[in-house]
Amino acid sequence: MKISLVEMGKTKKRNVRESIISILSRNFPLSIRKIYNSVKKDYKLGVTYQAVFKMVKGMMDDGIIEKEEKEYRLNMGWIKQLEDELSVIRNNYNMLRDERIKEIQGSINKFISKVGPQIKNYIDVDSSCIIGVSGGGRIYGMALWRYLVREGLDSKYINYDPFEEISRKGIGIKKEDVRSKKVILVDSAIHSGKTYEVVMRKINKHKKILNIKDIKFAVDRDMIGLADFSRISN
């Protein structure tokens, strides 16, 4: 659940300071008595009038609240400072996101550069179906599929969720997508081998029914040496 600044005083971990900010975000200016009543009524905090009075005075000293005659409101200077700080946080996270995207794209490019030609040679003149396993596998799988299509191979791409398959009696793959084709299952990495085990067991069980010609597993990073194709393997 997303909690906004205005609503943060209503969270389970609320405190008097947060509640006062929340109250003055919606209604202002208010006397300390009205702030106190709202803290008690709206936020159900067991706090005394003296505690609220002391908190308001302390928030004035911190520049969060300003006094307007006998009533109080949030300080516009503090609001501007908060906006500036949030802007810095947003920029930092955007930079981190952009760096992460570049990092992932770099790994994908290296994966295709090393594994792509190997899989192309393996497929040879056959038709293929690239299956993206899980979220990360879909990114690498789509990149591999695009590479094969650019290289002139007859290839199809589909998604596959191994966790949905655990409770399924059949298999969530259409026969027409894989019939008489070489199937390449693609994931971003193999760590414990659990996903690999679930996927390979299920697909091999239905290999004849689906009329799959052959099945291989490709990953970017293989930590335990299970994949048929990988860029990094232990």
- For residue 13, pLDDT over 50 is answered with no
- For residue 10, pLDDT over 70 is answered with no
Pick the CATH number of 8-74 from 1.25.40.80, 2.60.200.20, 1.10.10.10, 3.40.50.2300: 1.10.10.10
- For residue 5, pLDDT over 80 is answered with no
User: 183 CB contacts (<8 Å, ≥6 apart)?
Assistant: 128, 129, 131, 203, 212, 213, 214, 215, 216
Count of CA atoms in the C-beta half-sphere (13 A) of 214: 11
Q: Are strands 214-222 and 229-233 parallel, antiparallel or unpaired?
A: parallel
Q: Give pLDDT tens digits for 89-147.
A: 887 787 777 787 788 889 999 999 999 999 999 999 999 999 999 778 899 999 999 99
User: In the predicted model, what is the mean pLDDT of residues 65-70?
Assistant: 90
User: In the predicted model, what is the mean pLDDT of residues 12-38?
Assistant: 87
Q: Which residue type, as a one-letter code, is found at position 74?
A: L
Residue limits of CATH 3.40.50.2020 in the chain? 108-233
Instruction: Assign 190 to helix, strand or coil.
Output: strand
> d(Cα 27, Cα 37) in Å, to the nearest integer?
13
Q: Residue 167's pLDDT is what? A: 67
Residue limits of CATH 1.10.10.10 in the chain? 8-74
Domain 108-233 in CATH 3.80.10.10:
no
- Strand arrangement of the beta sheet that strand 214-222 belongs to: 155-160, 128-133, 182-190, 214-222, 229-233
